Structure 1
């Protein structure tokens, strides 16, 4: 009886189902791309219990959060979010108990762990209830940080290109029989349309986001920094602040580890002497990579996804894989077969607009640097097509901080249609009110029209009228394309050009929902 008293009530309930559980974990904000991957990690542990995974069991960092019977083996996973989405629907089908809305009643005393998104504020009713009940609470970065300590972690950081680079590394390791666990910020066809894979090996491939200084919680053995840019300025305030944040991340690499860094990125190269000092102190091997070399040419020939920025991403993956002694031909074979990821140059379907057949793409680009690179990639792949960029600004503070850069970001499109700003939960509010941001989508359009009078740039107040707006825009002929954007190949006739166009649905918010209605 004394032993029973030492075990929490929830561990000795008579329910047969409960006796088979290692614990119960609840995710607040489970609809986020990172949170959903971590939820899938716990679900996958359940499926893995029937396999001989003794090494994997040793790496499970959450088993001792509360005392439990030794016979326990599985996790019961639940989660909540403000609204349903295709991702929450997938999770529900996979076995997660998904609840819509944030309510105090979603948190019960028998929970063993609560994980919450960085978008969740301290006054969230579920988080407050969990703390009142003294349930262990971890932010997403804290929870993932526990995992990085248990695996040999490969963390991919950078202002841009993290998802593609991490995806390529994960697939390379899988091809090379390293059998990695993968947690990334996009869904992959090669992972059955998921953003997660549980492997039996000792490696974890992780997308390391700098927002909220999340990557400072991680302890990688290998790290990549694809680039450093003026991003997440609501956290870092300036480029110098961003650089300092990445330096601290590099300092988190374990002794004897490897750092793979982009030699073509000036803000990162500016830190070279400080990085060298960290490397000497922590015995880290530093590998710089650059597009100016023979390997980059091989990668460009092998890679199926367009854009020089993707060649750079693939080069980072190549250099890290080579450091792990993976043969070059095996690496290149992964590049040849890679089919891209969700919302990164993703072909979604077609629609007929004013007699014109339009190919519709989704892309996650939401920073001026990303927008320029993505539109350039579209122009490379479709030099003779009309490109219509439908852009939804993501976060009011980002638009305000980078307003000047946004004005020249859309030069690669023939026509640009700007939607209202997507307001980010927890980031665009100050003391319960929307932050007083001077910049708006309308202001951006006016600024571009003033700077580029010949550009076809418009504001659409109601996205529900998107198809009507596209009909009007595609019915009228665009002005001649500037000489620097002309293809060196023979141009198609004007009549043939009018029969096809590209619609690029661009942004990190809910613009993907409007894509669905467009291609129906």
Structure 2
């Protein structure tokens, strides 16, 4: 690979930073910028990726060969200047597509569970007889505690986001759809429009599509004109084989229902039926790639979790367990909280939830109203602003959200911002020693509090 100069705008983003690491590995010149300093920026600098803080067109080195940016930065001054100078500019999915579309791409998508399923599959494939590079929207301890893992392999496993149909940049060999639940209503018109994006993805998948056959919306996918062969996985513990012996281990004695193969037992270290289902999706990919069943199970049982997915951060000085989770859609929140409450049944569950987007919170309000049944205490610091209209911000305030949920959850509190919320967490920690799980929940900046809760 000839050395080139790549400049990344918004490099703290979990996807963008993975690409920066990819190009850095091959000896390219990497520069980057972001609007504020955070732990991700500090890590990138330690890896030799020079990052400038601030929004300024002069941050762009004019000798850059390519500028890569997220969809959120389409009108960023550095991006606009690059275009005016004739420098090649690509969005994150466009840039990733240039890499993975010349490989056998394995794309993991769906409304929830993308990162976990990608991480689990990465743990299975990394170092296996088939191998795979991995780009994932989290940090995985077993993949060098990174969001990027490289291996010289024909396969490339990626987390593929559905927002703005970004995943249509990819032409996968295997597509895994964890589930389909309406989301991103700032872009998609309605559920039909949302499902159509997934339909378009399976239409350009060449080998296999693995999906949740119990998911009502996934059932609406049409495979009559697709090249890809569908593999349906259900929550009873079965998946359909392509032929009686198409998948390894698909012997008659292993059959449950007609035409379906029973999954072997798995004893995972991570809690929750939803994570067990993610593991089963990853298992099927391993079977397609003809990995030994015993090997796949061993790898899945070794999986210890990943950053901001029911992550245990530390035990506080007062003996409470501090955790963090990225969950922001009511369906995944409900599943995550139930799993944590079941695993730590002897402890109280104190949740600090920061809703992500006023628009999402408004559209899915009724689902949020029943998402917190497993919780003992709940604080809402604020609603994280992202791509919201003035109308949505004015309508769906933190106060309205709290008052609506108070009809069901009398214990909910308005945290009045992150700083005041931090004081409330510290007070709770002091007054309830050795008793609780303290969970930072949400996709905004709620996780920054982890560094201040001792």
Q: How high is the TM-score relative to the length of structure 2? A: 0.91
User: RMSD of the TM alignment (CA)?
Assistant: 2.0
Cα contact 1:27–1:78 (8 A) shared by 2: yes
Cα contact 2:107–2:175 (8 A) shared by 1: yes
Q: In the alignment, which residue of structure 1 is the partner of 2:30?
A: 77
1:211–1:97 CA distance, 2 compared to 1 (3 A) = same
Describe the superposition over 1:134-161 as per-residue Cα deviations: whole angstroms up to 9, x where unpaired.
0011011111111121111000010000
Residues 67-466 of structure 1: pairs in structure 2 closer than 5 A:
75-122=28-75, 124-254=76-206, 257-271=207-221, 274=222, 276-279=223-226, 282=227, 284-293=228-237, 301-352=266-317, 357-424=319-386, 427-428=387-388, 430=389, 435-452=392-409, 455-466=410-421
Q: Equivalents in 2 of 1:369, 1:336: separation in Å?
A: 25
Cα contact 2:362–2:392 (8 A) shared by 1: no
Match of 1:502 among 410, 425, 437: 437
Look up the SS of the partner of 1:212 in the other structure: helix
Q: Equivalents in 2 of 1:267, 1:133: separation in Å?
A: 45
Cα contact 1:175–1:334 (8 A) shared by 2: no
Q: Equivalents in 2 of 1:320, 1:79: separation in Å?
A: 35
Which of the pair has more CA radius of gyration? 1
1:513–1:475 CA distance, 2 compared to 1 (3 A) = closer
Shift of the alpha carbon at 1:86? 0.7
Q: Equivalents in 1 of 2:411, 2:319: separation in Å?
A: 20
Q: In the alignment, which residue of structure 1 is the partner of 2:3?
A: 22
Look up the SS of the partner of 1:25 in the other structure: strand
Shift of the alpha carbon at 1:475? 8.1
Look up the SS of the partner of 1:266 in the other structure: coil
Q: In the alignment, which residue of structure 2 is the partner of 1:64?
A: none
Describe the superposition over 1:21-53 as per-residue Cα deviations: whole angstroms up to 9, x where unpaired.
62101011111000000111101112xxxxxxx
1:471–1:153 CA distance, 2 compared to 1 (3 A) = closer
Cα contact 2:122–2:143 (8 A) shared by 1: no
Describe the superposition over 1:246-279 as per-residue Cα deviations: whole angstroms up to 9, x where unpaired.
101111212xx111111121110132xx2x2132
Cα contact 2:178–2:211 (8 A) shared by 1: yes
Shift of the alpha carbon at 1:294? 6.2
Shift of the alpha carbon at 1:188? 0.7
Cα contact 1:175–1:330 (8 A) shared by 2: no
Shift of the alpha carbon at 1:301? 3.8
Unaligned runs of 5+ in 1: 1-19, 47-74, 477-496
1:133–1:435 CA distance, 2 compared to 1 (3 A) = farther
